[in-house]
Amino acid sequence: MDFFFSSVITLCLVMDPFGNIPLFISALKKVAPERRKTVLIRELIIALAITLAFLYFGKWFLRMFGIHSFSMSIAGGIILFIISMKLVFNNEEETHANPKEEEPFIVPLAIPLVAGPAVLSIVMILSAQQPNKLITLSAVLVASAINSAVLMLSFPISNLLGKKGLIAIERLTGMILVLMSVDMVMGGISEFMKGGL
């Protein structure tokens, strides 16, 4: 159960739903209000499908390219660190909105905002660490449900917290991700030192 809960927390932090709220609002701003929910559900389902594909084929992917699990841990930690630094120090609101007045499709909502490189890396690492796929699948589904619930309420949450509230949550998430990224890198180095190539 410890692995399950730690996996859910890790995935929720990496998915960063509160940090994505301004980006989702920006991307959906030009979409008709009555279509926003449909578009958001579609993008979340696509993101989940991509995440599950990496969960089930992650181990095969690592084997095919001869990538060791400790390499994945170190690479995932580096990616997390870069993302966390951006969350902590970025003062300007990033915009991924489609410049054309049309619905976003897959990019940028499903990829990279929900199923980004950090999330996919974490899922592959969890897949390699846990032989029981049911536990990892449950963690991914629970984290995705939490992420989806927050993003489905993007507009009300944004109005409630305001810009400063969202920035505060985003920076707090960034600080936690810094610690997690360092732990992942050190874990990968430790695994390398024990087993080597």
Q: What is the pLDDT of residues 121-179, one digit of tens each?
A: 889 888 878 888 899 999 999 999 999 999 999 889 888 888 888 788 778 877 877 88
Q: Domain residue spans in the chain?
A: 2-195
Spatial separation of the C-alpha atoms in residues 42 and 44, rounded to whole Å: 6
**Does residue 97 carry a pLDDT above 70?**
no
**35 and 98 Cβ atoms separated by less than 8 Å:** no
**Does residue 78 carry a pLDDT above 50?**
yes
The SS3 call for residue 107 is: strand
With b for 16 or more beta-carbon neighbours within 10 A and e for fewer, the 133-156 pattern comes to eeebbebbebbbebbbebbbebee
Spatial separation of the C-alpha atoms in residues 104 and 41, rounded to whole Å: 12
> 15, 1, 8, 4: which is closest to 118 by C-alpha?
15
Q: Give me 42's structure tokens.
A: 């579609």
**118 and 79 Cβ atoms separated by less than 8 Å:** yes
Over range 19-27, report the average pLDDT. Answer: 82
Question: What percentage of the chain carries pLDDT values higher than 70?
Answer: 92
**Does residue 98 carry a pLDDT above 50?**
no
Least confident of 6-15, 17-26, 58-67: 58-67
